[in-house]
Amino acid sequence: MNTQLIEIKSENSKLLFDKPGTYVVFFSNISGKISCKITSEKVELYMIGLYDIKNTDKYTIQTEQIHESPHSFSDLYILSLIKDISSFTFSGLIRIEKNAQHTHAYQKNQNVLLSKGGFVDSRPILEILADDVFCTHGSTTGPLSKDQLYYLQTKGLTKLAAEKASIDGLKSLVYNRLEKLKVKSRKLKAKKTHD
Amino acid sequence: MKTKKLTFDYKYGFSVKSKNVFTAEKGLSEEKVRMISQMKGEPKWMLEKRLQAYNFFLKEKMPEWGADLSSINFDAITYFIRSTNSQVNSWDDLPAEIKDTYDRIGVPEAEKKFLSGVSAQYESEVVYEKVQEVLVKQGVIFCDMDTALKKYPKIVREYFGTLIPYSDNKFAALNTSVWSGGSFVYIPKGVKVMLPLQAYFRMNAQAFGQFERTLIIAEEGSSVHYIEGCTAPIYARDSLHSAVVEIFVKTGAKVRYTTVQNWSKNVYNLVTKRARADKNATMEWIDCNLGSQITMKYPAVYLMGEGARGEVLSIAFAGEGQHQDAGAKMIHFAPNTTSRIVSKSISKEGGRTSYRGLVQVMPGALNSSVFVSCDALLLDEVSRSDTYPTMRIKNNESTIQHEATVEKIGEEKLFYLMTRGLSKIDAETAFVNGFIEPVVKEIPLEYSVELNRLIRLEMEGSIG
């Protein structure tokens, strides 16, 4: 089955998934609300977000994964790289309604603070009304790994180059996901890295 | 799956005929606040604080988030009861009825075993209180708040309401205006209290709110473990329990506060608990919520000094008609501070558990680390579990991790245990007890035994 790519560009998007299939929702450096409602069985939904922000940028993103039908799957992954005094606010909801048994729903938010003045507010929310489900969420926030940076420097990279390599490595987490889903990420890739 | 109603007798569902010396009329007014203060013979500053809090309570709105509190009728609650004329020091002097109640909870037994001091609260005031001589020799003060206000007014005034001002929230204001009873613990510099201090709280009058106020001060380098256990008889009318607990953990000190909450299932348990941890201090909350109709409780640690550590381990169990809205708050102000939150919740028969937490890392809290883990177990298809964490991070030299999982008991695991000869109830009980084990192993033996027994009773009720 073909993977369908949906790129979010407008501030408020309401998406309805009422037919089986694999869907990828991609968004990058955008504020607003993305609401995904699954009303069909056998929906495989990937929501992937990349935030690469700097200066006084302020982004607030709200996501919803609402499961109203059994036997579906959704997976959200948001990576944010925060520079200067920019700020990133994420609030994501997984809601599994009573009849949506056998749902698998996942949510992961990784935030990397690359400067002193950055700010992160992360709220991953679960509301589970069915029992036979697998549901997890995770959120991490922190700087680049000091061990990794040190290791790269022992191999002869300058501090700056080591940082760039680490950041590129993190971004590839997003691109690899897209590639695995057979989404042509080159088009997406060109657009959002603004430095 | 067909679920059976609980058929066993509620373990602590008995009540002893109330024989109160003085019961205030229902409802709250300024006169009543003045009367409570006057009857207790309080200093003027406390009366003023009560009145300020009362005015704030009137103005403040009910919280618009969390559990549904719309059915609380503040006018149908008795705000003050004095259950005996004077305080008694020895067990034998206690009135027979009260003794009977305690016997059934097991206070004397517990005392024989491990207790360094028993302060049992019956209705609004502490009627029985015994502090072992060792503690007195060490300079430890362990008494009820009313006594503390009379005997140590200077210390009480210095700390009372400084960590949780009445303006913190509506229920903190209500507590400040009508508080009665609760414990006062003062540990002098360098003193380590080896045995846990223990207090039982108990409500025994219909529609009577209990507003205890607890203050714990652990001076530099001291350590103490305080245990609060709650059991209450079943009554038909709604009851309100709204406590305030303030804890000061000074440099290098360590305080552990354990709660086993098993209010009867008509009680609204709305509690504000907060601790302040100074340099290299450790504060641990261990919070088990089993009873009550609605609990809203988020023990907090303000990490104010470098190297301070905060920990919250919590268990929530929600059965039919119950909503446990519990969680934790960790606010990092100083560098090198660490915190850990581990929450385990179980819902069954339409019960609802919610984890609600806040982690905030301030710009100055460099090199701090936070770990949060919430696991929820759903035992049937009518139950519900929520997770509402908030993380605010304002510096780039700290690491914050949060993870949560929701699942049901795996069929394969159950099947495996049953092939080994366990009945379905035993297998499920084993699974649930294993699920909460990381928290249970932190509480004293007699409590963990009681907890495991309670879980089994709850489980038996749920299997058809």
- Mark out chain B residues that contact chain A at CB-CB < 8 A: 363, 376, 378-408
CB-CB under 8 Å, A131 with B383: yes
CB-CB under 8 Å, A121 with B406: no
Find the CB nearest B396 among A122, A123, A143: A143
Q: Which residue has the tokens 């691109």?
A: A175
- Amino acid sitting at position B101: T
- E strands, B114-235, where? 117-122, 125-131, 141-144, 183-187, 197-202, 213-218, 223-231
* Residues of B whose CB is below 8 A from A119: 392-394
CB-CB under 8 Å, B398 with A142: yes
- The alpha-carbon gap from B146 to the nearest alpha carbon of chain A, in Å, equals 42
What residue of B is the nearest CA neighbor of A91? B390
What residue of B is the nearest CA neighbor of A128? B385
Element (H, E) at B300: strand B300-303
CB count within 10 Å of CB A147 equals 8
* Residues of A whose CB is below 8 A from B398: 141-142
What are the respective helix, strand and coil percentages of chain A, to the nearest 5?
20, 50, 30
Residue B234 confidence (pLDDT): 45
- Amino acid sitting at position B336: N
Element (H, E) at B430: helix B424-440
In a domain, A176, yes or no: no
Q: In this structure, what are the phi and psi dihedrals at residue B30, rounded to the nearest 5 degrees? A: -60, -40
pTM of the complete model: 0.85
* Residues of B whose CB is below 8 A from A127: 384, 386
In a domain, B352, yes or no: no
Helices assigned H by DSSP within B361-423: 411-419
* Residues of A whose CB is below 8 A from B387: 124-126, 137
Which of A131, A132, A133, A147 best probes binding to B when mutated, by most B CB atoms within 10 angstroms?
A: A131
Among the listed residues A77, A26, A85, A28, the one whose alpha carbon sits nearest the alpha carbon of residue A51: A28
Which of B353, B396, B400 best probes binding to A when mutated, by most A CB atoms within 10 angstroms?
A: B396
- Amino acid sitting at position B307: G
- E strands, chain A, where? 3-7, 12-17, 21-28, 32-38, 43-53, 58-67, 73-82, 87-96, 104-113, 119-128, 134-142
- The alpha-carbon gap from B450 to the nearest alpha carbon of chain A, in Å, equals 27
What does the block give as tokens for B9? 């007798």
Low-confidence ranges of chain B (pLDDT < 70): 1-24, 81-132, 199-209, 230-238, 446, 450, 453, 457, 460-464
Do A83 and A113 touch, CB atoms closer than 8 A?
no
Give the span between the Cα atoms of B289 and B279, in whole angstroms: 30
CB count within 10 Å of CB B348 equals 26
In a domain, A171, yes or no: no
Among the listed residues B327, B330, B331, the one whose alpha carbon sits nearest the alpha carbon of residue B404: B327
Find the CB nearest B403 among A119, A132, A138: A138
- Amino acid sitting at position B278: D
Do A51 and A28 touch, CB atoms closer than 8 A?
yes
- Mark out chain A residues that contact chain B at CB-CB < 8 A: 82, 98, 101, 111, 113-116, 118-143
Among the listed residues A63, A9, A6, the one whose alpha carbon sits nearest the alpha carbon of residue A192: A9
CB pairs under 8 A between A and B: 108
Number of H helices, E strands in chain A: 3, 11
What does the block give as tokens for A12? 């408020």
What residue of A is the nearest CA neighbor of B352? A129
- The alpha-carbon gap from A102 to the nearest alpha carbon of chain B, in Å, equals 11
Burial class (CB in 10 A: 0-12, 13-18, 19+), A77: middle
- pLDDT (tens, 9 = 90+) of chain A, 195 residues, equals 578 888 888 888 999 999 999 999 999 999 999 999 999 999 999 999 999 999 999 999 999 999 999 999 999 999 999 999 999 999 999 999 999 999 999 999 999 999 989 999 999 999 999 988 999 999 999 999 999 999 999 999 999 999 999 999 999 999 998 888 877 655 555 444 443
Give the span between the Cα atoms of A121 and B228, in whole angstroms: 34
CB-CB under 8 Å, B403 with A137: yes
CB-CB under 8 Å, A139 with B389: yes
- The alpha-carbon gap from B213 to the nearest alpha carbon of chain A, in Å, equals 32
Do B88 and B120 touch, CB atoms closer than 8 A?
no
Give the span between the Cα atoms of A195 and A183, in whole angstroms: 23
In a domain, A61, yes or no: yes
CB-CB under 8 Å, A140 with B400: yes
For chain B, the domain total comes to 1
* Residues of B whose CB is below 8 A from A62: none
Give the domain range for residue A102.
Answer: 3-144
For chain A, the domain total comes to 1
- The alpha-carbon gap from B369 to the nearest alpha carbon of chain A, in Å, equals 9
Give the span between the Cα atoms of A99 and B99, in whole angstroms: 51
Mark residue B147 as left, alpha or beta (left: phi above 0; alpha: psi -120 to 50; beta: remaining).
alpha
Q: Which residue has the tokens 């059915």?
A: B71
Q: In this structure, what are the phi and psi dihedrals at residue B179, rounded to the nearest 5 degrees? A: -55, 150
DSSP lists the bridge partners of residue A37 as A16, A66
Find the CB nearest A131 among B381, B400, B401: B381
Give the span between the Cα atoms of B333 and A14, in whole angstroms: 40
What CA dihedral angle connects B24, B26, B28 and B31, to 10 degrees? -40
Residue B198 confidence (pLDDT): 74
Among the listed residues B338, B323, B315, B464, the one whose alpha carbon sits nearest the alpha carbon of residue B386: B323
What does the block give as tokens for B60? 């403040």
Mark residue B250 as left, alpha or beta (left: phi above 0; alpha: psi -120 to 50; beta: remaining).
beta
Q: Which residue has the tokens 């035993």?
A: B426
In a domain, A70, yes or no: yes
Which of B345, B378, B393, B411 best probes binding to A when mutated, by most A CB atoms within 10 angstroms?
A: B393
- The alpha-carbon gap from B394 to the nearest alpha carbon of chain A, in Å, equals 5
CB count within 10 Å of CB A153 equals 14
What does the block give as tokens for B379? 């035992």
Question: Is the alpha carbon torsion for A186, A187, A193, A195 positive or negative?
Answer: positive
In a domain, B53, yes or no: yes
* Residues of B whose CB is below 8 A from A129: 384
In a domain, B312, yes or no: no
Burial class (CB in 10 A: 0-12, 13-18, 19+), B112: exposed
Residue B90 confidence (pLDDT): 56
In a domain, B206, yes or no: yes
What does the block give as tokens for B327? 């969680």
Residue A66 confidence (pLDDT): 97
Find the CB nearest A131 among B394, B399, B408: B408
Among the listed residues B384, B400, B404, B382, the one whose alpha carbon sits nearest the alpha carbon of residue B392: B400
What CA dihedral angle connects B152, B156, B159 and B160, to 10 degrees? 170
* pLDDT, tens digit, 9 for 90 and up, residues B38-77: 988 999 999 999 999 999 999 999 988 888 888 888 888 8
In a domain, B148, yes or no: yes
Find the CB nearest A130 among B376, B381, B402: B381
In a domain, B4, yes or no: no
Q: In this structure, what are the phi and psi dihedrals at residue A176, rounded to the nearest 5 degrees? A: -60, -40
Give the domain range for residue B137.
Answer: 13-289
In a domain, B358, yes or no: no
- The alpha-carbon gap from B402 to the nearest alpha carbon of chain A, in Å, equals 5
Element (H, E) at B329: strand B323-332
- The alpha-carbon gap from B372 to the nearest alpha carbon of chain A, in Å, equals 9
Mark residue A178 as left, alpha or beta (left: phi above 0; alpha: psi -120 to 50; beta: remaining).
alpha
The distance between the two most distant Cα atoms of chain A, rounded to a whole number of Å, is: 57
